[in-house]
Amino acid sequence: MSKITIAIDGFSSTGKSTVAKQIAKELGYVYVDSGAMYRAITFYAMQNGFIDNNHFNIDGLVSKLQNVRVSFKFNEALGFAEVYLGNVNIEKEIRTLEVSSFVSKVATISEVRELLVQQQQKLGQNTGVVMDGRDIGTVVFPNAELKIFMTASAETRAKRRYDELIERGDKVVYEDVLRNVQERDYMDSNRKDSPLIKADDAIEIDNSNLTLQEQFEKVLQLVKITLEDCE
Ligand code: CDP
Ligand code: CDP
């Protein structure tokens, strides 16, 4: 059976990565969390003093971009690939609310996008891939056989993300998480380069009232139909 490319885009905390991982596992495909790559560059910028107390040295970051090595290594126990900066596993560090508060600004930088889009296209070359993000169906893989666009209300998404952060042991308040979700929605949708928009041929799924299982079954159904069409 021929392998396809599956692009899953949408707003923060809509369940993109959860369903993308499940589908990749089901099909034996590679899963790529493109947001983790933007988060990794943001983490690098914070560690190296390019982001400091809201002061942002974009030129400084851009001048060092070619030295930044972001990669993924599959973790057998977890069943998915974790993100590395050089040789250091930064999977946990990139998920903080602090990184979330800067990442959408980093994602507006065209040089950052250009570098990461190239790497993402390579990761999806010659293999079945499920990639989630904001511009996968519009920019990274405009010819993807299946494109999904996930939405849910901001309050539902913020509650999901808040629960996740609390479970990890992060000290956050719900209002800050909601504000971050709304600010990122706005910045991601309104930036000049590769804004978050639904591709014309993407199928929209509002999962505000769907459980993880229901959402998985819905996407799997679409995958099966697409695979049959591709035969
Ligand atoms: O997990 P969550 O949905 O909160 O975010 P993410 O997928 O980890 O992405 C973090 C941020 O990276 C987004 O808010 C975007 O600003 C940026 N991003 C992007 O611009 N393009 C992508 N393909 C993926 C993420
Ligand atoms: O990748 P993205 O930011 O779109 O979302 P995610 O990390 O897959 O999901 C964010 C959180 O929402 C996770 O804790 C999911 O388990 C939860 N979620 C949920 O409870 N019900 C859904 N239908 C989708 C996601």
pLDDT by residue (tens digit) across 44-99? Answer: 999 999 998 778 999 999 999 999 999 999 998 988 899 999 999 999 999 999 99
Give me ligand 1 centre to Cα 202, in Å.
18
Residue 231 is predicted with a pLDDT of: 82
The residue written with tokens 């979330």 in the block is 100
In angstroms and rounded to an integer, the radius of gyration of the C-alpha atoms of the chain is: 17
Instruction: Return the structure tokens found at 148.
Output: 């999904």
> Can you tell me which atom of ligand 1 is nearest the CA of 10?
3
Closest ligand to the CA of 23 = 2
The residue written with tokens 């049959």 in the block is 228
Give me ligand 1 centre to Cα 75, in Å.
22
5-220: CATH, from 3.40.1160.10, 3.40.50.2020, 3.40.50.2300, 3.40.50.300: 3.40.50.300
74 known ligand binder: no
Residue-wise pLDDT tens digits, 66-76:
999 999 999 98
Residue 126 is predicted with a pLDDT of: 85
d(CA 36, CA 132): 10
Q: Quote the DSSP letter at residue 88.
A: E
189 known ligand binder: no
Residue-wise pLDDT tens digits, 102-149:
999 999 999 999 999 999 999 998 889 999 999 999 999 999 999 999
d(CA 87, CA 155): 37
Residue 1 has pLDDT above 80, yes or no: no
Give the closest residue (by CA) to ligand 2 atom 25. Answer: 15
The residue written with tokens 């995958």 in the block is 223
14 known ligand binder: yes
Q: Which of 16, 83, 160 to mutate to test the pocket of ligand 2 (most atoms within 8 A of CB)?
A: 160
CA distances from 19 to 46, 116, 130 (A): 30, 22, 10
Strand-pairing partners, residue 84, are: 71, 89
d(CA 80, CA 17): 11
The question of ipTM being above 0.95 is answered as: yes
Give me ligand 1 centre to Cα 150, in Å.
13
Give the closest residue (by CA) to ligand 1 atom 9. Answer: 35
Q: Is the pTM of this model over 0.90?
A: yes
> Can you tell me which atom of ligand 1 is nearest the CA of 95?
8
- 67 Cβ partners below 8 Å, 6+ apart? none
